[in-house]
């Protein structure tokens, strides 16, 4: 479990799904007012330019979510560059089968889920 209320994007996703599956009121609020619920949980307002959509999967449908693509010629901000900056080392053979060290960037948010 994350410490000091620091969650990666994946951990936040897992917690939201877990809460929605356990608590019907939480799931209903997530569907009816995802922005309000997420702002409350994140402890900050989410810019109105950011859209939040909640989709409930169907048993007979497979969903593929593609990440947003940067506009051609657009540059990464310093914050975005920091997220993808390397820094780990690989010792010996650098193939995926033999990698002995690496670094990955993660998005971290502060959140208190109740």
Question: What is the pTM (predicted TM-score) of this model?
Answer: 0.54
Res 32: pLDDT: 96
Res 99: pLDDT: 44
Q: To which residue do tokens 């007979």 refer?
A: 60
CA distance 65 to 53: 12
Per-residue model confidence as pLDDT tens for the chain (114 residues): 454 457 777 888 898 999 999 999 999 999 999 999 988 888 889 889 988 899 888 889 988 888 777 777 677 676 666 666 655 554 554 445 444 444 444 444 444 444
């Amino acid at each position: 479990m994350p410490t000091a209320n620091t969650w990666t994007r994946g951990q936040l996703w897992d917690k939201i799904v877990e809460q929605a599956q356990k608590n019907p009121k939480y799931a209903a609020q997530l569907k009816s007012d995802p922005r309000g619920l997420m702002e409350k949980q994140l402890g900050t307002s989410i810019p109105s330019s950011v859209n939040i959509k909640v989709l409930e999967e169907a048993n007979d449908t497979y969903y593929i979510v593609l990440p947003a693509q940067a506009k051609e010629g657009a540059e990464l901000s310093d914050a975005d560059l920091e997220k993808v900056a390397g820094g780990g080392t690989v010792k010996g053979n650098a193939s995926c089968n033999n990698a002995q060290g690496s670094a990955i960037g993660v998005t971290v948010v502060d959140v208190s889920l109740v």
